[in-house]
Amino acid sequence: MGKNNKRNKKAKPQQQQSGAPASSSGSQDKDSTEDPAAASLLPTLIPKKRNQLNKLVSELVDLVEQQPANPNEEWRQYEQLQQLLTQIMTLEEPLSKVVCQQVNDSADDQSRLAKVEAFSSWAKNGGVHSEGLEIAIFPGYQLGLRATRQLEKEELVLSVPRALIFSEESKSNCRLFGNMQQATHLNLAHDLVIEKIRGEASDWRPYIDVLPAKYNTVLYFSTKQMQRLRGTAACSMALRQCRVIAKQYAFLYRDAHILGNRTGNDNRCFFLTKRGLCYQLYRWAVSTVMTRQNLVPSESEGSPKFISALIPYWDMANHRPGKITSFYGSFSRQLECTAQEACAAGEQFFIYYGDRSNTDLLVHNGFVDVNNLKDYVNIRVGLSPTDALAAKRASILDKLSIRHNAELRVLPAPDFISKELLAFVRVFKMSAEQLEHWCSDLERAGDLLHIDCALETDHETRTWQFLEDRLKLLLAVFDKELREADELKELSELELKEEGKPVQEIELMLLQYRRLERSILAGALQYAQEHRKV
C-alpha cells in the first residue's frame, strides 16, 4: 500500500440513496484536482436548503465564538448549540444517510462482525500478525479481541506494520489543520472524513467497515443525558469538547460553503470535504480518533515528533487496568503488542490504555473503568485577585510549581487529597504572619506537600475546614441533579435490565461515573473531617 497510489486509484461510484445527484454545475466542479472518488453520486442540497444551512452555520460560528463566563452560561450555550446542531443534522440528512451508517447498537455489533472476515484478510495481506487472536463481540464492550489459544505473559501477540497504520502521513499534502502537535489528531480526523466519503474507492474501506457506526462520546449525548453530568467534574470538560468540535465543524463548513476560499495544495481535501462534509460525519470521525488513536513517531520532515494514528486490528483491543505493553519499534517500523498477563483460549485479550481518570475516559473515550486504580477528581482552586497577600502566596506556589489558578486532584483511598491540593490550601489559608515566615525561607516550601508537615494548629484546622466545606459544597451540587438514593436505584434498575432489552449504554455509564466521582468526594470529605478534629 503505497503512499500516493490511493489518489490515482480508479473510483467505483458510491450508491446514491436519496436527494439529487451531485450535478456537473456548481463552483466545486471547476476544481481541477478533483479525485475520481469525489465524482461519487453524493446528493447535493437544493439551494433553499443550502441557504438555510449556511444561515444556521453562521449562527453556530457566532455562538461558539462566545466564551461563557460561568457554568450556567456554559450550560445555556450548550443548549443553544444542541438546538442548532439538531437543525443542521436534519437539513444535512440526505447527505449523512449516504456517508454515515444509521444503525442501532446491537445491529451495529452484528453488522461490524459480518465485515470482520474481509477486514482480517485485508489486515493479514497487509502484514498484520495476530495469529493467536480473533475479533468477537463482548457484551458491554462492543467488539474486542479473543484469544484462540493460550497466550503467555509478555508473549508478542500482535504486530501492525507502518503501511497499515493510518496517519496524516498516509496523505502527505493534506494537513488542513497545520503542522503542529496540537493539530495532528485533527488532521487525522479530517483524513478519515475523506476516506469515509471515498467509500469503496478507499484502500482503507475494509478497516472503515469494521469501525463502529456511532460512539458513546459526549458528542453523541442528548441534552437530557448531558444533564446528568451537571455538578460533576466532567461537565465543563464535556461541554467544552462539544463546543470545540462544533467550532471546528462550523469553520470547515464556512470555509467550504460560505467563503469558498480555500486554494493551494489542499484543494483535493477541500473538494472532498465540501462534497461530503456534514456534522454527523465529522463527529463520527472525531470520535473514532478520540477513542482509538495512538501516537507513533513521525517519519516526515517538519512534522511534530509524534503524530496521531489509527492502528487497525490493535485498536480492537479493549482496556483493563495493568501496564502498557504496546510499543512502536522504530527499526521494525511496526506497532508491537505483548500480553500483559497470561490469557487462556476463549478469553478476552485486554490491553492497558494508560493512566487516565474516569473523567478523562468518559469525555474522550466514551466509557468508564469501574476498577480504575488511577482515578481522581479535579477541583478548581485559585488565588483571589482582591487578596492583598496574593503576591506572597504566589511566590510560595511558584516555588512548589503549582499554578495560581489550578485544577488539583482529590484522590480515592488511601490518599484522598493530593499533595499539591493540600499544599495549595495550606498556602491559601496562611495568615500574614505565617506567609512572612514561609516566604523568608522559600527552600522549605516543599515541606508543605507532606501530610505531616508541622504547622500551627489553627492554620491546620483552617486548611482542613476549607477542604471540608469545599467537598460538602461539591457533594451538595451533585445531589441537586440526582440524589444518591435515586442514583443507586436507577443504576441497579439499569444493571438488572431484562434480557433482550437494549442496554442503555450512555445512561449506565453516566450513572456509574456519578457513583465513582461521588465516592471519591465522599471519601475525601470524611478524611478531611477526621483531620480537622485531630
Question: Which residues here bind ligand SAM, judged by CB under 6 A?
Answer: 140-144, 212, 216, 291-292, 315-316, 318-319, 365-367, 369
- Residues ≥6 apart with Cβ < 8 Å to 216: 366, 367, 505, 506, 509
* Cα 206 from Cα 164, distance rounded (Å): 12
Residue number, 337 or 524, with CB nearest to ligand SAM: 337
* Cα 279 from Cα 242, distance rounded (Å): 12
**DSSP secondary structure, 302-316, as one string:** TS-SEEEEE-TTGGG
Quote the least distance from Cβ 508 to ligand SAM, whole Å: 10
Quote the least distance from Cβ 310 to ligand SAM, whole Å: 9
Quote the least distance from Cβ 218 to ligand SAM, whole Å: 12
Quote the least distance from Cβ 235 to ligand SAM, whole Å: 20
Residue number, 292 or 419, with CB nearest to ligand SAM: 292
In angstroms, how far apart are the furthest CA atoms of the chain?
Answer: 80
Residue number, 44 or 287, with CB nearest to ligand SAM: 287
**DSSP secondary structure, 345-410, as one string:** TTSEEEE---S--HHHIIIIIS---TT-TT--EEEEEE--TT-TTHHHHHHHHHHTT--SEEEEEE
Residue number, 372 or 526, with CB nearest to ligand SAM: 372
Nearest to 354 by CA among 329, 334, 325: 325
What is the C-alpha radius of gyration for the chain, rounded to an integer number of angstroms?
26
Quote the least distance from Cβ 309 to ligand SAM, whole Å: 12
Which cell numbers in the block locate residue 160? 501492525
Residue number, 132 or 144, with CB nearest to ligand SAM: 144
Residue number, 245 or 474, with CB nearest to ligand SAM: 245
Q: Where are the beta strands (DSSP E) in 131-180?
A: 133-138, 142-147, 156-161, 166-167
Residue number, 119 or 367, with CB nearest to ligand SAM: 367
Quote the least distance from Cβ 135 to ligand SAM, whole Å: 9
* Cα 42 from Cα 113, distance rounded (Å): 27
Residue number, 102 or 265, with CB nearest to ligand SAM: 102
Q: Are 317 and 145 in contact (CB under 8 A)?
A: yes
Residue number, 212 or 523, with CB nearest to ligand SAM: 212
Which cell numbers in the block locate residue 473? 459544597
* Cα 279 from Cα 285, distance rounded (Å): 10
Report helix, strand or coil for 29: helix
Residue number, 316 or 430, with CB nearest to ligand SAM: 316
Q: Are 132 and 103 in contact (CB under 8 A)?
A: no
CB crowding 180-199: b at 16 or more within 10 Å, else e? eeebbbbbbbbbbbbbbbbb
Quote the least distance from Cβ 74 to ligand SAM, whole Å: 25
Quote the least distance from Cβ 111 to ligand SAM, whole Å: 12
Bridge partners, 405 (sequence order): 382
Quote the least distance from Cβ 219 to ligand SAM, whole Å: 12
Closest CB to ligand SAM: residue number = 142
Report helix, strand or coil for 147: strand
Quote the least distance from Cβ 349 to ligand SAM, whole Å: 11
Residue number, 347 or 486, with CB nearest to ligand SAM: 347
414: cis peptide before it, omega within 30°?
A: yes
Quote the least distance from Cβ 212 to ligand SAM, whole Å: 6
